[in-house]
Each structure stands twice: as structure tokens, then as C-alpha cells.
Amino acid sequence: MTTTLIWIAVALVAIGLYLSWTAGRLDRLHARIDAARAALDAQLLRRASVAQELATSGVLDPAASIVLYEAAHAARQAEEDQREVAESDLSQALRAVFGEAPQVEAVREAPGGEEAARELTEAVRRVPMARRFHNDAVRAARALRRHRKVRWFRLAGHAPFPMAFEMDDEPPVALVDRAA
């Protein structure tokens, strides 16, 4: 009888340790999502700021400046539920403005244009990487949260279900090809 109680206590302690370890792992994944989201937000803000700065610099023709400025402004001012659409619109505007090599060359030849083009190239390259890191963290957390043990024992607590950030982040070909 005593041996049975000891084995039951050992099994309960082992299960408790395993559940605690799983909850800690889930907590670390949620912290990783938060950090990746902050990095993604910073890269999106940087891209929109550089695009807005370039649009107001006088380096671009007026039509391109207006298109780029409006898309960058909308991306910076978008509410959270409209953010993916606004960022996708900015990506499309960047591809429309910098879709051809002559436009990129014209920007580079203008005073201060080389630096602006370099900053924009760096910004449009970093956004897909930041989005990929964020979505990978979301994918890992979702996979863990789908396990029965996590649902049954409510190991996720009150944390919201993680959502991926889906947007069009394809960079302008002429801008990236020139820098490569």
C-alpha cells in the first residue's frame, strides 16, 4: 500500500514537472512572438519612414512622390486590423515607383539620392526577414497550443491565440537587383 502511494506521488510529481516545463516553453514562445512582432513593427516603420522621406525629398517626379507618400502615410497611420493591407499597398507602391531601373538610377544621381536609395534598399530587404521570423514564432506557438495537454490544462492561460502577419512584401526588382 505504501509503495503504491509513493509511485502515485512520483507519477504526479513527474506529470506536474512536465506540464510546468510545457507551460514555460509556451511562455518563452509567446515572449519570442512579442519580440519578433516588435522587430517587425520597427522594420515596417523604418520602411514607411524612408519611403515617406524619399517621397518628400523632391528626388522623384510629382506623380511618383504622391503615390509613394500616400501609401507610406497610410501604412504609418493604419489601425492594427488594417495594417496588413496598408503595408501591402506600400509594397505595391514601391514596386510601381521603383519597378524600372531608370527610375532607380535617376534617384541615385540626385543629390543625396544614393544614400536614400541605399536606406530604402536595406529597409525593403529587412521587412521580409522580420516577417518570416515573426511568422515562424507564431507557427511554433500554434503547433504547441494545438496539443491536447495544453488545451486540457489551459497552459496558455489567457494569452490570445497568435496570428501570423500576412502581407505582400516583395521588394521592387530594380531596387534590389542594383544593390545585389
Q: Report pLDDT for 103.
A: 85
The average pLDDT across 28-35 equals 97
Q: Report pLDDT for 100.
A: 86
Cα–Cα distance between 180 and 178 in angstroms, integer? 6
Whether 159 has a pLDDT exceeding 80, the answer reads yes
What is the amino acid identity at position 3?
T
Cα–Cα distance between 71 and 57 in angstroms, integer? 16
Q: What angle do CA 69, 74, 78 make, to 5 degrees?
A: 160
For cell 502615410, what's the residue? 73
**Polymer length of the chain:** 180
Q: What is the pLDDT of residues 72-102, one digit of tens each?
A: 999 999 999 999 999 999 999 999 999 888 8
pLDDT band at 178 (very low <50, low <70, confident <90, very high): low
Instruction: Give Cα 31 to chain centroid, integer Å.
Output: 15
Residue 165 DSSP symbol: -
Whether 180 has a pLDDT exceeding 60, the answer reads no
Q: Please give the residue that has the higher pLDDT: either 1 or 67.
A: 67
Whether 65 has a pLDDT exceeding 90, the answer reads yes
Please list, in sequence order, all residues whose beta carbon lies within 8 angstroms of the beta carbon of residue 87, skipping any fewer than 6 positions away: 44, 75, 78, 167, 168, 169
Q: Report pLDDT for 175.
A: 81
What is the amino acid identity at position 80?
E
